[in-house]
Amino acid sequence: MSKEFATRAENYSEWYNHIVTKADLAEHAAVKGCMVIKPYGYSIWEKMQQALDQMFKDTGHENAYFPLLIPKSFFSKEASHVEGFAKECAVVTHYRLKNGPDGTVIVDEEAKLAEELIIRPTSETIIWNTYKGWIQSYRDLPLLINQWANVVRWEMRTRLFLRTAEFLWQEGHTAHATSQEAIEETERMLGVYADFAENWMAVPVIKGKKTANERFAGALDTYCIEAMMQDGKALQAGTSHFLGQNFAKAFDVKFTSKEGKQDYVWATSWGVSTRLMGALVMAHSDDQGLVLPPKLAPFQVVIVPIYKTEEDLLKINAKVEEIRKSLISKGIRVKYDNRDTQRPGWKFAEYEFKGVPLRIAIGPKDMENGTVEVARRDTREKEVLQMVDLDNKIEHLLSQIQDNLFQKALSFRDQNIRRVDTYDEFKKTLNENPGFILAHWDGTAETEQKIKEETKATIRCIPLQAEERDVKPGICIYSGKPSERRVLFSLAY
RNA sequence: CGGGGUGUAGCGUAGCCCGGUUAGCGCGCCAGCAUGGGGUGCUGGAGGUCGGAGGUUCGAAUCCUCUCACCCCGACCA
């Protein structure tokens, strides 16, 4: 393990890169901008998927799968949608290779596709093209579908998990009979994301609505959850879009209502991606490495034996087997590492770096005293516990760690949300105390754009839940014009 | 995609400006012995042709050209 490990204060982005690569979450692939998600990292992603998938099912959704390749013509059907994605699409133009003159493989120019195919940057078009055949009557509605998939967006500047050319995500695509119902769905799924972020990832989020500038291409409204990273920057952790009838019109998806009238259906789409992995790392980890919330940790407890003789080890093995069984019966994920090839201290450091929430060490002294040493990753505290009732104690500790991580992140965030009333103050705050800023804005795209150009800060969202004092009228920090309420500004990932 | 930087063994690096012995070091790896409650010590050993291609030269990690990847800044974006 690297001992020349950058701290957050020294170099935040280097620190992030080191955690991701050295904790075995992911590494760069041979393809530019793409990553290999390694087993340890993928295991965390699987935990996320499982939790989210259950939440989607619990809210009535079903999974399906749509193609990776989308006919180019589909993209031109919704004007703002094309515009939003045109610059970052990978295009498939041929379907065959052949041997070149010098023995290399070349594209067979004769095998040109009649219509080029786009590797999906998102699936609205292919899905709505399909929905046309599925929806005729109000009885077919609502249609509540989710898909787990990969998408490709040809990014100019990439970072592991935060922005890669290919990433994994889920995209929900629903169709409804009324606008009202679709808006409710949009809000419901935003709620699911917030719930997941806070209760599984232990990352507090602010729910809000995007301004027109930041809205998804093709949406009437985009809702989001915004999380604060330890450097004070915002990370959009999930989005939920109310698409109105834009895609229904573009793909001619109509239904007959109870009253026998024809109308276009109302749509939503919503998604979270492997970017959540980046959020997870940047929300909790410290200068000793990764810190994982118990609910998403591939293993929640690691047990390390300490012994001199083979005889000691055998005794410990037997004892640990009891402990392991009792923990497993509580649904706790346990790893027992009794490899003789690494020493205890090495293992301690290793599992700390990988963010395992709890470590149990058990040696001859413990065997004599009926105790174990338990170390928490979040606080780095150690205590000696009686083995009696250990499973309950561990279960309790894990839930404490989960809570503690959330509380820590929450108080960090709240300490770094500031209200400012002048542009000078705004710039000064961005400079000296990076974090979220609640400030008045006149509601125009021009002002938003100007502020962005001059300070790099953007309006992350118009919070859905705000304190009384933040929804009172005021004066725009930039233009001096009247403002209805404060909105949330920040530098962002 | 524009500007700047980096690329030497699995990782971290020295050497490069001022071309010239088998490219050095630390960690890790392998073997043995000792050790064993926070990255164990000693001894011995293996591993790199210097991101890739081309060029200059008697000779290139070192100079030149092109290219690829990564990092930082900018534009764009989840």
- How far, CA to CA in Å, does A481 sit from each of A297, A473, A476, A487? 49, 11, 5, 15
Check whether A478 has a pLDDT greater than 80.
yes
Give the pLDDT score at A3: 45
Q: Is 90 exceeded by the pLDDT of residue A361?
A: yes
A336 neighbors A324 (Cβ within 8 angstroms): yes
The one-letter code for the residue type at A318 is: A
Gap between the Cα atoms of A2 and A306, Å rounded: 24
pLDDT score for A31: 87
Q: With a 7 Å cutoff on the CB, does A234 touch strand B?
A: no
Q: How far apart are CA A108 and CA A97, in angstroms?
A: 5
> How far is it, in rounded angstroms, from Cα A174 to Cα A186?
9
Residue bearing tokens 């989020």: A205
- Out of A256, A284, A312, a domain closes at A284
Question: Average pLDDT over chain A, rounded to whole?
Answer: 94
DSSP code string of A20-85:
HHHTTSEEE-SSTT-EEEPHHHHHHHHHHHHHHHHHHHHTT-EE----SEEEHHHHTTSHHHHHHH
Strand partners, A334: A301
Q: Evaluate if the CB of A436 falls below 7 Å from strand B.
A: no
Do A476 and A341 have their domain in common?
A: no
Tell me the average pLDDT across A135-143. 97
* Amino acid whose CA is nearest the C1' of B11: A2
Strand B contacts in A 267-296 (CB under 7 A)? 273-275
The terminus-to-terminus CA distance of chain A in angstroms comes to 28
Residue A2 has pLDDT above 70, yes or no: no
Residue A79 has pLDDT above 90, yes or no: no
Residue A83 lies in a domain: no
List, in order, residues 6 or more apart from A47 with CB less than 8 Å away. Answer: A200, A295, A296, A297, A298
ipTM: 0.89
| Contacting residues for A321 by C-beta, under 8 A, at least 6 apart | none
Q: Give the CATH number of the domain where residue A468 resides.
A: 3.30.110.30
* Strand extents, DSSP E, A425-493: 436-440, 458-463, 474-475, 482-483, 486-490
pLDDT of residue A23: 94
What is the predicted pLDDT for the residue at A6? 82
Residue A4 has pLDDT above 80, yes or no: no
With respect to residue A340, please indicate whether it lies within any of the assigned structural domains: yes
Q: Are residues A179 and A280 in the same domain?
A: yes
pLDDT in tens, A401-415: 999 999 999 999 999
**Confidence tier at A99 by pLDDT (50, 70, 90):** confident
pTM: 0.95
Chain B bases near protein Cβ (<7 Å)? 1-2, 11-13, 27, 30, 35-40, 68-78
Cβ of A456 near strand B (under 7 Å)? The reply is yes
Q: Identify the CATH number of the domain in which residue A223 sits.
A: 3.30.930.10
Residue with token string 């000296």: A432
Q: Say if residues A299 and A356 touch (Cβ distance below 8 Å).
A: yes
Same domain? A336 vs A226: no
**Is A22 domain-assigned?**
yes
Going by C-alpha positions, the residue among A211, A358, A196 that lies closest to residue A279 is: A196
Confidence band (pLDDT; 50, 70, 90) for A11? confident
Rg (CA), chain A: 26
Q: Residue A101: what pLDDT?
A: 74
User: In 10 A of CB A204, how many CB atoms?
Assistant: 22
Residues A194 and A317 in one domain: no
Q: Tell me the per-residue pLDDT of A171-205, one tens digit each, with 9 for 90 and over.
A: 999 999 999 999 999 999 999 999 999 999 999 99
CB A130 within 8 A of CB A66: yes
pLDDT at residue A455 is higher than 50:
yes
AA letter at A10: E
What pLDDT band is residue A81 in, cutting at 50, 70 and 90?
confident
Same domain, yes or no: A200 and A266:
yes
Q: What percent of chain A is modeled with pLDDT above 70?
A: 99
pLDDT value at A168 more than 50: yes
Mean pLDDT along residues A15-28: 93
pLDDT at residue A387, as a whole number: 95
Among A63-72, A211-220, A257-266, A356-365, the least confident range? A211-220
Beginning with the edge strand found earlier in the chain, give each strand of the sheet holding A371-376 in spatial order. A334-336, A301-305, A358-362, A371-376, A382-386
Same domain, A331 and A434: no
Q: In terms of DSSP H, where are the helices of A120-173?
A: 124-134
Domain end: A357, A378, A412, which one? A412
Residues of A 122-141 whose CB lies less than 7 Å from any atom of strand B: none
Do residues A372 and A263 share a domain?
no
Q: Is the CB of A349 under 7 A from strand B?
A: yes
Model confidence over A216-252: pLDDT tens digits? 988 999 999 999 999 999 999 999 999 999 999 999 9
Identify residue A374 by its one-letter amino acid code.
V
Positions 196-215 in A, CB within 7 angstroms of strand B: 214
Instruction: Say how many domains are in chain A.
Output: 3
Query: Residue A301 is encoded by which pair of tokens?
Result: 């407890």
Question: Structural domain of residue A479, as residue ranges?
Answer: 418-490
Burial of A62 (0-12, 13-18, 19+ CB in 10 A): exposed
The DSSP code for A120 is P
The domain boundary, picked from A412, A432, A459, lies at A412
Q: In A370-455, where does DSSP find H-type helix?
A: 390-415, 423-432, 445-455
In a domain, A118, yes or no: no
What pLDDT does residue A402 have?
98
